[in-house]
Structure formats: C-alpha cells, structure tokens
Amino acid sequence: MTATTVTHTANVLDGADQLEHKNTCRLCGGSITALFSKTVLGKYAVTYFRCSGCLSLLTERPYWLDEAYRESNLSNADTGAAQRNLRNLAATYGISKLLKAKNVIDIGGGDGLLCRLLRDYQINCYLQDKYATPTYAQGFTEHNFSSPDLVLGFEVLEHYPNPTADLDNLFSYNPRALLLSTCIYSDQNKDWWYLAPESGQHVFFYSNTAMAMIANKYRYELVTCSDFILFVKNPSLLTKLGAKILLRKSVVRLFKAIIALLPTPGISIDHAFQTQKSKKVSLSLE
C-alpha cells in the first residue's frame, strides 16, 4: 500500500477534517508511511503506518473490529488483566485523593472489577463500556452526578478506531482530570508485543508527541509516568509533582499493599442502596 502524502497539520484534527482525509493519520491528519504488515486475527494482512506529524503508529483503517470483539472484550492472551485492575485501583486511589476527586467514570471499564473496588473504598465510580457486561458493577452504569471529577480510561486509547472523534467523546465529560493508560510508541519494531495482532483490538499507538498534542487541543496539562497518562486542568506545581510520584511503579506497588489493609465501607453502603432500590421496584410493581 502506498502512503498518501498531505500537508501536515500540527494540531489534532477536528471531526470534519478527519472525514476528509481517509489516507492520513486518524489523529492529526499528518502524512503516513507504511512500515510493516502483520497478520491480524490470524487471517487479515494488515499494514501498520507511522505518522510523520504526531509520530504515532496506526493500522490501516480497521474493518475487522466487529469480529475482534465478537467473543469477549478481553483478549484470551490478556493474562495481566486481574493484576492490572489492582494496579489501576492503587493509581486511581492515589490520584483521586490528591485531586480531591469524588465522582469518577471508568470508560471501557470491562466487567466492572475496578469500578467495584473503587466503590468499596467509597469513591463514587460508575462504569461505561459498550463492549462488555458489567458483572461486578451491576447497577452502577448510570451515574448520579452531572459531571465527573475524574475520568478513567485504562487500556482504552489504543482501541480507538477513530481517535479524533473518540477523544472528543472522552474529553466531552470535561472533568478536572483524566487518568489513562496505554503503552507509548517510540519506534518499536514489528515484534512489539503491544501490537497484539492476534486479538485485532489494538489499532492506534500514540507517541509522546501525540499525547502532548492531545493535551494542547483539550487544554489540559500532561503528566506521564510509566504507562500512566494524566491530563489535568490547571494543576499547581505541587499537584503535578505529587501526581508524578503517585504514578511511579514503586509507589503504585506500595499503595496496592496499603489499600489491601484499608476498611471497605462501600460494600455495605452499596448493598443497602441496592436492596432499597430493589424494594422500591417490587413495591411499584405490586
């Protein structure tokens, strides 16, 4: 496949621009160059491109996504999913305390384990995921606040087929901060494990430059540490420094251990709330 060359724009595209440029970067509209091909879902020869504008890596337009999500939102090779929930719990707990964030939405929250764990520690978290059943967070998909303080999106960005529109949706919550995770692309080769072509779900790989462009577009400041990405509005220097420390691998590991020792009052509070709700429903049916 031949890359189409267009004039590079230094900004993240808006929706209308995105529709016009079919063979350019789906994030910034920059020119893209074919780097290599991988077999996706065991049968599709898919070309991966590098963008000269935002320096990200992207697949060709992903036409296989329905198939990729047909069986499960979790890839069968994603054996790290459970530990990742505990790590994300520790990071979110720390950041929510630092930013005094009470109301949280977990985008792409899967089966709801993180949402449930956060609620156990009285963080008012709700979940959204169009591909998954919220087994652990049943009853907590319709949030009870007008806008969240914190939006979570762990291992979500790399799934976005159209980052321009998908990021618009994500940032339209207009929270104080967004805590996200994805592996940053920095010219890894075609054997990079994060490409995960066998699952077909990873279709866009952001560079640090792309992250800075996104922060600039939506007017947030960017804090990155390991593979956590925090977008935060008007942070003080102290807040930025605090976030950087809290998201360090060693600190997250320490928090994991501390949190396990804390009481979990949210379990009984939510139990009472859900029981009350069920009673109201059955009374209204009588």
Tokens of 88: 């994300």
Q: Could you tell me which stretch among 19-27, 77-85, 111-119, 277-285 binds Zn ion (CB under 5 A)?
A: 19-27
Q: Which secondary-structure segment (H or E) carries 49?
A: strand 44-51
Q: Any idea what the Cα angle at residue 26 is, between residues 71 and 39, rounded to 5°?
A: 45
CB of 191 to Zn ion, least distance (A): 23
Least distance to Zn ion, CB of residue 28, Å: 3
Strand, coil or helix: what is 145?
coil
Site string for Zn ion, 46-75 (x = CB under 5 A): -----x-xx---------------------
163 near Zn ion, rule: CB under 5 A: no
Q: Which residue number, 67 or 187, has a Cβ lying nearer to Zn ion?
A: 187
What 133-139 contacts at long range (C-beta under 8 Å, 24+ apart), as own/partner pairs, is 134/109, 135/111, 136/111, 136/112, 137/109, 137/111, 137/112, 137/113, 138/112, 139/274, 139/277
200 lines the binding site for Zn ion (CB under 5 A):
no
Nearer to Zn ion, 53 or 235 (CB): 53
Beta pairing, strands 228-232 & 221-225? antiparallel
**Quick check: 27 binds Zn ion (CB under 5 A)?**
yes
Nearer to Zn ion, 24 or 128 (CB): 24
Residue written as token pair 């919220």: 134
Give the one residue of 12, 13, 25, 68 binding Zn ion; rule: CB under 5 A: 25
Q: Which residues contact 285 (CB under 8 A, 6 or more apart)?
A: none
Q: Nearest CA to 46 among 207, 158, 203, 206?
A: 203
Nearer to Zn ion, 18 or 73 (CB): 18
Which one of 12, 13, 28, 230 is in contact with Zn ion (CB under 5 A)?
Answer: 28
The answer for residues whose C-beta is within 8 angstroms of residue 76's C-beta and 6 or more apart is 199
Question: How do strand 44-51 and strand 32-40 relate by DSSP bridges?
Answer: antiparallel
Rg from Cα positions in the chain: 20
Q: For Zn ion, give the closer residue by CB, 209 or 226.
A: 209
State which residue, 51 or 214, has the beta carbon closest to Zn ion: 51
CB of residue 31 vs Zn ion: minimum separation in angstroms? 9
Task: Report the nearest approach of Zn ion to the CB of residue 30 (Å).
Answer: 4
CB of 54 to Zn ion, least distance (A): 3
CB of 211 to Zn ion, least distance (A): 12
The distance of closest approach from Cβ of residue 37 to Zn ion in the complex, given in angstroms and rounded to an integer, is 20
Q: Closest separation between CB of residue 25 and Zn ion, Å?
A: 3
CB count within 10 Å of CB 242 equals: 18
Q: Does 12 bind Zn ion (CB under 5 A)?
A: no
Binding residues for Zn ion, total number by CB under 5 A: 7
CA distance 241 to 235: 10
**30 contacts Zn ion (rule: CB under 5 A):** yes
Binding site for Zn ion (CB under 5 A): 25, 27-28, 30, 51, 53-54
